[in-house]
A and B are shown apart, each in its own frame.
Chain A
């Protein structure tokens, strides 16, 4: 079951979010996993609001991927094209073979407008 976390983005502003994946209080060892995540307007909506392009990275707490850290980093130019709405997103990790997906985080994705452009 994914952890529910609502996130927000602003048009024309970099989106930088870091998640820590844990199971029963312990960080997940993400070695050998890949990660993906999309935000959509509605579940069956064909186009994506945003490809969150999450990446697994090594933090200061542990070596390699044992820190369970996942980073979302979307540049301002990409964010400027995302329409103002409230969609949903989720982030899932895939095993090395790409056959098993596990949902880690999910929630609302609120996109706010900008006034400086």
Chain B
């Protein structure tokens, strides 16, 4: 049975902690528009059905890789947000009299996102290698029952 994009999107959303800034439809859109990227990684020939926006014959193995690809995109987006102009915050701590306000160090936050992204890239490589290995089909299985060319077989 083919895996549905809407179910994959729903799984991803729950696994990343149901964040309010992301919705299941936006994840589904990312998956639907990045089938080509998945194909390039797994040497696949998947395509999006233009009618129901689903991927026919989409398997559990492919789903596992696709989910990690989205997570990598997600943390890369977070990384860009914290390193970009909007993420810059030069004041980390304000102290006056007996009051102290300490802000999140966005530089540290961006390092965390970057580390998560790099880890995911490694995980994707491992899964893709495993997937490619499983998908291998031998062209020939030689055994001792084969008859070599020009070999004379004596009949008894």
Contact = CB atoms under 8 A, between A and B. Distances in A.
Interface residues of B, number: 17
Given A41-B53, A47-B51, A84 B9 contact: yes
Interface residues of A, number: 15
B2 to A, nearest CB: 14
A87 to B, nearest CB: 8
Contacts of A47: 50-51
Interface string B72-83: 000000000000
B56 interface: no
Interface of A, secondary structure class, is: loop
Contact of B10 (A8, A41, A113): A113
Nearest to B30: A86
Interface string B45-78: 0000011111000000000000000000000000
Interface string A32-43: 000000000110
B53 A86 contact: no
Contacts, number: 42
B23 interface: yes
A12 B29 CA distance: 20
A93 B64 CA distance: 45
Contacts of A110: 23, 25-26
Interface in A99-117: 110-113
Interface of B: 5-6, 9-10, 23-26, 28-29, 32-33, 50-54
